[in-house]
Amino acid sequence: MDDEVGVIAAAAIYLISAYNYYVSVYRTKVVKKKRQKRRCSMENQLTELLQEPESKEFQNFVRMSDSNFEYLLQNISPVISKQDTDFRESIPAKIRLAVTLRYLATGDSYRSLHYTFKISSQLISQIIPEVCQALIDVLKDTVKIPTSPEEWLTVARGFRFPHCVGALDGKHIKIQSPPKSGSEYYNYKGDFSIVLLGLVVSNYCFLFADVGAQGRISDGGVLRQTILWKKIIDKSINFPPPCPLPDTDIEFPYVILGDGAFALHTNILKPYPGNHETGTPERVFNQILSGSRVGC
């Protein structure tokens, strides 16, 4: 009897050892190969898109040129890169950035991104906030308001409109209504949103951005809650002093161009309200102002 028990115990130990060995080999080889295959597949797709800049497929995919993508990758790669472990290979920084840019560009759900990048929705939900925070930390000094009259004059040289130091506008970003928020985020378009307010120069680079105001607030109302407006009101924004317009002796202040949503101010210019006949001074002025805001 003792011999039989010993044999059974030895067989059980052997089976357990064989099973553990099989599981170990499967995890380290088969699963690892599958993961490597998925990662390589996505990396190869991005590489192929990057190698065909003329087709603009990559730019359409992430809404960014390949040179800007490489610039961002070079700057944030040390921050978002992860180390490989014995149990898994880390997702490359290039893929992490691509996932985030695709999400920001399209607003795709995590489930949709999962099918595109072959990464679990749970992991994508961790990657996107991490990369966004890295982008903020690395690029925070690239979006800043000029601090001297000389810097504002450099901005003004890029516009066709005289004495213009920026174009201002708001954009509604659709969101799901936050719990118990009522109509706080309900906008005039019939959606729930937050507002992105931006001040840009002639080459479309941002000088100032404010995001997060409730969608029910107009662009003019959002502006009045910002640091930009505070600087304009207390004159700490350091605009150049008023000077004559070209070919005239009329002194005119330096202004930001806005649309009808903003209130008229010494340093904020907006179109004439209402409809005007073709060829009238008001119509011509509105066309030039609007063209300067759109085409810079």
The mean-pLDDT minimum among 9-18, 224-233, 237-246, 272-281 falls in 9-18
pLDDT band at 40 (very low <50, low <70, confident <90, very high): low
Q: Which tokens is 289 given?
A: 């102002």
In this predicted model, what pLDDT tens digit does every residue of 114-152 receive, in sequence order? 988 888 999 999 999 999 999 999 988 888 999 999 999
| pTM for this model (two decimals) | 0.73
Looking at per-residue pLDDT, the higher value among 99 and 86 belongs to 99
103 Cβ neighbours under 8 A, 6+ residues apart: 113, 124, 128
Strand partners, 186: 192
User: Does pLDDT of 14 surpass 80?
Assistant: no
Q: Where are the domains of the chain?
A: 9-139, 149-295
CB 97 within 8 A of CB 104: no
User: Does pLDDT of 294 surpass 90?
Assistant: no
